[in-house]
Amino acid sequence: MMKVITYGTYDHLHRGHVRLLERAKALGDYLIVGVTSDDFDKQRGKINVQQPLEERIAAVRATGIADKIIVEEYEGQKIDDIKRYGVDIFTVGSDWVGHFDYLNEYCKVEYLERTCGVSSTEIRSTKKQRCGLVGYTDYMNRVYAECGLVNGLEVVAICTKDRSSLSKNSLSAPLITDNFNELLDAVDLVYIHSHPDCHYEQVKKALEAGKHVMCEAPLAKSAAECDELFSLADERDLVLMDSLRTAYSTAYARMLLLVAGGRIGDVVSVDATCTNLNTNRPPYSLSHETAWSSMAAWGPTALLPIFQILGSSPESVQFSSLCDLKDKAFDNFSRISVEFQGAVGSAKVGAGAKSEGSLVVSGTKGYVYVPAPWWKTDYFEIRYENSSDNRRYFYQLDGEGIRFEWVSFLRMIEAVSEGTDGEEALRREGGIERDITRAICEVIGSFERGDHVRYMEVHK
C-alpha cells in the first residue's frame, strides 16, 4: 500500500486545500494529513490563524479525503512521522518548492501545483480594520511595524505631536495628524500610547465616537473611572482592552499556568523589578509638560504578575517613593508593597535607575525565576531546594508579544461584533481580565493621589 502524507494549517478550508488533498490522495492509496497545532503555527510565524485546531481538523475530516489525521506540533516532526507511519510520498503545494527537499532522504517528495486565486490569508483579510495609533514615543514605530504583520489590519492614521520620533516607515502611514478628532474620523479602532494622564479622556472620546480601543495600561487613574469606561464600551458593543505586551509573551503566560497548577506549591510572594535608564521625557505631552515618572513608565507592568498570581483584591498597598520633594509627581524610583491574605507582593520601578529586572515568584515548594528583562523574556526556571529537580523552560518570543496582543484585539472585536459579551471575549482570548485592569488603575491612581505614599528625597 502506497502511503502519502501532507501537512497544512487549513484555516477556513477552501477549494485550494480540497484540490490539494484530492491530488495528494490520488498519488497513493492511503492519505495522512498533518494539521498544524495552534502553538506550532505561532512558533513558525503564522500568528493569526482564525480557527482553532479542533475546527480545522473537523473541516479536513469533513472532506472525507483523509484516511488519517494527525497533529503537527514540533519542528522536525515530519521526519518522525514519515518513519513512524512508513510513508512513501510526502507532498505539499508548489508554494513550498525546494523547502522540503531534505525529506528525499526518507521518502519521495512531490510538490503539487498550487490552486491560483485562493488562500486562507486572503479569506482572513477580506475586511480590514482601519486602525489609528496615538502616541509620541519611538515605541510607536515598533507597534507600527508589528501591525504590518497582522492580517486584517491596516494602520491608516497616526496621531502625534512629535513627528521627529516617527521612523520613515511610520511616516508612510496615510494620515499623520496632531488632531485626535481627525484621527478618530478616519478609523475603526484606536491604539493609545499617549501619556497616562491623557488615557481616560482619550479612551472615553474614542468610545463615544464608536471606536474599539486598546490602550496602554493604566486605562485610567481609578477603579471608578475604569468601570465607567468598561460600561461605556459594553453599552456600545465595543472592545476596550488594556495593553500590556508582557501578558501575551508565551513564556510569561506558561509561567502563570505552571504556578496556577501548583508547581511551586502555595505562592507566598511575587517580586517584580522593572527599571531603565531612559526617563522617557518627551519634548511635551498631549495635555501638559510632563515626563514619564517611574510609576507611569513601569508601574502597570510590574503590578501585572502580582495581581495575576495573587488576585486583584489586596488587603493593603503602600508605596515608598524616591523623588525630588518639590516635584513628587515625578518619582525616580519607587517600591510598591502589596499585602494579600497569606502572601505579599513587591514591585520596584525606576526610570533613571538600574537594577536586575527579574521576576521571582516564591512558593512553599520552590520558586520561579524569570531573568531580566522578565517583561519580555523567552525563558524562565523553576528552582527547588534540591537543584537536580530544577527545570528550565524556553519559548520563542516574537515581537515582544505585541503582534499577539493585536491578534487578540482583532479576535475580540470579531467576537463582540458577533454578539459575545466583551468580558467573555476577553477571557476567551486569554487577555488581561477586567479586575486586573481595574486593580492596576486603582494602584497607580492612589500613588498619584499620594495615598499611603512615603516620599523620600532622592540623592542629587
Residues in touch with ligand CTP (CB under 6 A): 8-11, 16-17, 20, 92-93, 95, 114-115, 118-121
Shortest approach of ligand CTP to residue 23 CB, angstroms?
Answer: 8
Burial code (b: 16+ CB inside 10 Å, e: under 16) for 97-122 equals eeebeebeebbebebbebbeeebbee
Smaller CB separation from ligand CTP, 72 or 400: 72
Shortest approach of ligand CTP to residue 120 CB, angstroms?
Answer: 4
Smaller CB separation from ligand CTP, 93 or 431: 93
Shortest approach of ligand CTP to residue 115 CB, angstroms?
Answer: 4
Shortest approach of ligand CTP to residue 79 CB, angstroms?
Answer: 18
The grid coordinates listed for 453 are 505614599
Whose CB is nearest to ligand CTP? 93
> Residue 349: helix, strand or coil by DSSP?
strand
**Main-chain dihedrals φ then ψ at residue 434, nearest 5 degrees:** -60, -35
Smaller CB separation from ligand CTP, 72 or 405: 72
Sign of CA dihedral 27, 30, 31, 32: negative
Q: What span, in angstroms and rounded, lies between the C-alpha atoms of 96 and 311?
A: 47
ω into 218 cis (within 30 of 0): yes
Of how many residues is the chain composed?
460
Smaller CB separation from ligand CTP, 41 or 271: 41
Shortest approach of ligand CTP to residue 247 CB, angstroms?
Answer: 25
Smaller CB separation from ligand CTP, 121 or 172: 121
The grid coordinates listed for 178 are 496632531
Whether 368 contacts 361, CB under 8 Å? yes
Q: What span, in angstroms and rounded, lies between the C-alpha atoms of 140 and 133?
A: 8
- Segment (H or E) for 333: strand 331-340
Shortest approach of ligand CTP to residue 71 CB, angstroms?
Answer: 14
Smaller CB separation from ligand CTP, 8 or 282: 8
